Structure 1
């Protein structure tokens, strides 16, 4: 039996494909690699933050006990829907199950990758991946942080340490490092110094060429092109690294899973009538919810756009 029924116009996404899409969406994003998602209901979600440090007290016999005045504030995680619409020939509807499975595998691969990158593009840069433009109405995004280091030397190590210093001086822990591939390669390409000059010996030989760094000096690390925003962004954001508290400084979750919608009629994407073009459209959607505490992060930017 065909997976897509040309008579009833129904679509059934095989469980193994659906599970694979969800898994990949949550594993290829640098946000997802460094910051674990949490269960989140649909819609705006209020998150309470305890903003006082609780301290214990030693009390002598017959002495009075003191207390800590608790102070709470509230932030709100807002839902953001991302979608991918893919057109294909309507002959797909008449094909056998093996052919349809092959197409669905490709749709799943492309869709999961696009939706994964969308999480980073929105949460980091508030950029719409489809247009490359900034969504001006979004006011909560990570790169709004005021803590910025401008690349001032050829030593990527020094730049990272300086950025870490900006975060740590406020008492924020460092739990993650996100690197653009250019920064990862620069870090991996560093040499040890002798008399202040490179001696040809790799400083961090365990990094290889920097293509798949998962840890740097004990800090959980992820590498991805979404750090710079390219190729989706209309222009390079100039961000080459993000360091900070990925564990508690980002609160995010998937509010709705990935469905597959078969659209046989109309013009769902502004590209012309489907029937006229002998096409159908397959649409995938996901709803993320997130809130970023941007003051818990620091950026490293290129000199051209540095802070």
Structure 2
């Protein structure tokens, strides 16, 4: 029987794997950028500040030194949590009912934790309050590669791609796009001067998975309704595979809380409730120059 006793316990294996799977596939970051294995805590990444160049050497010729400057960046750890309340009668229910409660926690928690990953990486947002975490200085929307949105999203997208391809002289690859549902619709319904659809294969843009062989994630986290100040971003393009270094550093324990006021909603005993808390330890670093954002001028710099 599932023992909902006080203390910490692990979700059943099938639920744990499901939560992690949904977190990594339910966010734009998780879908477009594979998570990396990490040690718990901060991880230091070695980077080239100038790229090394090879040299051709003739027979008997001297070999010149290869100028290359190294730098380091450090991933930051960020803990996300979800606390959900239930009537305390669940403590006395049978195993099937208790499993149902845990499943509800898993389903609700995985969605919240997936969104938290996007909102933190994109905008340094705290999903619960909608405000920025001002102490976080590394986030994608800090990029200086910005396109002012117009009525022609197709053209805006091309400009943004061009910025990434030409950034830092040699540019970066385009291997991912994150679009709002509205931007996806505008792209799918774009037409030529004779009113013929440019991309009929996209339908209405609802389920776009790729565009011109580039993986796409259509999600409301690009312009999140949770934000107290909307970033008004319509699309993000860039090198998702190499431009975001992220991972899940710890799988979530679940803590059963039966006393106190763990979330500011009142004393649990007074309300005949218990609380279940699930936590996820993320870590990431964003190479901002590898991305470009398309945003309307009003609010476009709210997180920049």
Q: What interval of TM-score do these two structures reach, taking the shorter chain for normalisation?
A: over 0.9
User: Does the 8 Å contact 2:4/2:256 carry over to 1?
Assistant: no
Scaled by the length of structure 2, the TM-score of the pair is 0.94
Alignment pair present for 1:160 and 2:157: yes
What is the Cα-based RMSD across aligned positions, in Å? Answer: 1.5
Alignment pair present for 1:290 and 2:289: no
Match of residue 190 from structure 1 = 190
Q: How does 1:1-307 map to 2 (within 5 A)?
A: 1=1, 3-5=2-4, 11-152=9-150, 154-170=151-167, 171-191=171-191, 193=192, 197-199=193-195, 201-230=196-225, 232-306=226-300
Measured in 2, the distance between the counterparts of 1:55 and 1:75 equals 22
Measured in 2, the distance between the counterparts of 1:11 and 1:280 equals 15
Measured in 1, the distance between the counterparts of 2:4 and 2:53 equals 64
**What displacement does 1:104 show?**
1.4
Scaled by the length of structure 1, the TM-score of the pair is 0.93
**Unmatched tracts of structure 2, length 5 or more:** none
Name the count of aligned residue pairs.
298
User: Does the 8 Å contact 2:8/2:254 carry over to 1?
Assistant: no
**Unmatched tracts of structure 1, length 5 or more:** none
Q: Which runs of 4 or more aligned residues in structure 1 lie more than 6 Å from their structure 2 counterparts after TM superposition?
A: none
Measured in 1, the distance between the counterparts of 2:41 and 2:72 equals 16
User: Does the 8 Å contact 1:151/1:306 carry over to 2?
Assistant: no
Measured in 1, the distance between the counterparts of 2:241 and 2:67 equals 26
User: Does the 8 Å contact 1:150/1:302 carry over to 2?
Assistant: yes
CA 1:264–1:164: 2 relative to 1, 3 Å: same
CA 1:73–1:126: 2 relative to 1, 3 Å: same
Measured in 1, the distance between the counterparts of 2:205 and 2:36 equals 29
CA 1:236–1:296: 2 relative to 1, 3 Å: same
User: Does the 8 Å contact 1:265/1:274 carry over to 2?
Assistant: yes
